[in-house]
Structure 1
């Protein structure tokens, strides 16, 4: 069921065109490894799963869209294709803008480098030059609020400290597309409130497109104006957020 809405005056910034993402499930890790070099051994292949199944939708600049669905619905797979972590098996994903993702906040850190050095490492990975990172650095340091630990090796950080640094980097840049996967439960209560406030500030910028994945209907209603409901990789509903919530809650 679909009742798609969009902002006709704005350009399309994300487009899924008949996208299917298929994962092969093997009997064990050894068989998965062998398949990379010697092809699939169908006797050891348990099954194939379409995490995204002929998925088509458009998201326009400035929209705030919630992805709703149960575990295994395909939400995270869709986000990974938007962020370029993985690619479709069939179909086309088009993303026209700089993406900042609040997904795996601690991914990509070098534990031997300091927190400050990791800011530069992550910045270079995103294609920023030294001047751009130098401008970004004080904002990240201030938001993360790690004190003297910012100049200590990341291997000395707790998981919460690493998440704070990752979150601070993601929200201190000026993204055109912000992807949030229920990553706001970072650190203590005061820092969580700081995170919510910053995300809300970003989302109020009409030039920023926001993709928000959540199990909380209340959070979706608070942050977003449009909802996309997924089930086993298939789009089931696309429309105004309250209608999407009503559809989700009445069917799942």
Structure 2
């Protein structure tokens, strides 16, 4: 059953001003409406690209967004900062109205769009539980039946009768999420706010969202930059870019599409020539074989295409080295160590290194490349900053428990635990 449908949703803003702009613009809109004409300012406006200079007084934060969500589905909404994700959730939550298009929903919607959404700072945590329940249309008896579960899940029992203005941001997130999750909305809308909570609470929150969707058959719309959370939680995802939908489909495919389209600070133009040949192409492939960033705990590959002059006189060794931001060597990948060196039969040769389970901690790394001729011990090509490698958080141990970026060290090892 379709529980939410977005049809031709667009949202236009006027840059630099509060409201719709000048009185003349408002009069033009009014006169167009009187004559049954379209708003004249819907025909203007630039694309929502935060990195470029504005060429119009108007900008389309969203443009022609269409999708449907089924009951019990968890829909991930991903994209870069400024892609329009939060604007879309505000429209879905009725916080703001779309410029064009319509939203059709069935049932109650609970939103968690920012820290402590809907909380009154002067009221206590307990009073805010009842206030939020009343906003959702619940009776006092219904709220009271859930009160103990909400307080227990939030972990804020000691401070529940203290005004919310004295809570830390993490405590407000804990209580706000508990209220939104336990007051039984038909649709739960969650923005990136879980990033404020600690690792323990993030795991609890993701587990609760899984229970809500799978066990209770309710619908979740989830925005996050944590791709591991999106992969483990969502059944489907859409990718937004510059206010438009650029991909809609399965979660794995959507995450791969998003990662391979993220900004990369290092760009190599091919071919790269050196004295005895040239590098024709190089790609970092993700677990789906797409040119992309790497996800912790998933397969990745380095694919290199070389042209070597006089190949039969050379025995080529390929060496990759991974460096952190302090230029410390993290690990080395080497054909020599795997007896993969051979005298080349042709000028053009492909070298592919597959890593079944990538276990270097999330972060930004420099990937160095070295090409050696083992016959002469001569380095044919070397560049310690050949490519930038971005590692995203992933479910490395396949347990559904995502590691936090803090206190991981550099490398995560395979482990077998025995408890007698």
* TM-score, length of structure 1 as denominator length: 0.83
Once the two structures are TM-superposed, the CA of residue 251 in structure 1 deviates from its matched residue by: 3.1
1:90 corresponds to:
100
Count of equivalent residues? 235
Mapped contact 2:206–2:229 kept (Cα < 8 A): no
Mapped contact 1:184–1:196 kept (Cα < 8 A): no
Q: Return the structure number with greater helix share.
A: 1
Partner-residue secondary structure (3-state), 1:184: helix
Q: List per-residue Cα deviations over 1:66-116 (Å, max 9, x = no partner).
A: 112111111111111111111110111112222222321312222222111
1:237 corresponds to:
247
CA distance in 1, matches of 2:203, 2:236: 24
- The equivalences for 1:48-197 within 5 A come to 48-197=58-207
Once the two structures are TM-superposed, the CA of residue 125 in structure 1 deviates from its matched residue by: 1.5
Relative contact order higher in (CA < 8 Å, ≥ 6 apart): 1
Mapped contact 1:102–1:170 kept (Cα < 8 A): yes
Mapped contact 1:114–1:151 kept (Cα < 8 A): yes
Once the two structures are TM-superposed, the CA of residue 236 in structure 1 deviates from its matched residue by: 1.3
CA distance in 1, matches of 2:80, 2:236: 18
Mapped contact 1:67–1:213 kept (Cα < 8 A): yes
Q: Does structure 1 residue 22 correspond to structure 2 residue 12? A: yes
Q: List per-residue Cα deviations over 1:46-74 (Å, max 9, x = no partner).
A: 62111110111111112222112111111
Q: Considering only aligned residues, what root-mean-square deviation do their CA atoms show, in Å? A: 2.4
Partner-residue secondary structure (3-state), 1:14: strand
Once the two structures are TM-superposed, the CA of residue 150 in structure 1 deviates from its matched residue by: 0.8
Return closer, same or farther for 1:183/1:203 CA change in 2, 3 Å cut-off. farther
Return closer, same or farther for 1:138/1:16 CA change in 2, 3 Å cut-off. same
CA distance in 2, matches of 1:226, 1:33: 35
CA distance in 2, matches of 1:150, 1:97: 29
Once the two structures are TM-superposed, the CA of residue 175 in structure 1 deviates from its matched residue by: 2.3
Q: Return the structure number with greater strand share.
A: 2
Once the two structures are TM-superposed, the CA of residue 35 in structure 1 deviates from its matched residue by: 4.2
Q: Which runs of 5+ in 1 are unaligned?
A: 1-10
Q: Does structure 1 residue 220 correspond to structure 2 residue 230? A: yes
CA distance in 2, matches of 1:69, 1:33: 27
Q: Which runs of 5+ in 2 are unaligned?
A: 29-54, 263-420
Once the two structures are TM-superposed, the CA of residue 137 in structure 1 deviates from its matched residue by: 1.5
Q: Does structure 1 residue 32 correspond to structure 2 residue 18? A: yes
CA distance in 2, matches of 1:194, 1:34: 42
CA distance in 2, matches of 1:19, 1:192: 31
Return closer, same or farther for 1:232/1:197 CA change in 2, 3 Å cut-off. same
* TM-score, length of structure 2 as denominator length: 0.52
Partner-residue secondary structure (3-state), 1:203: helix
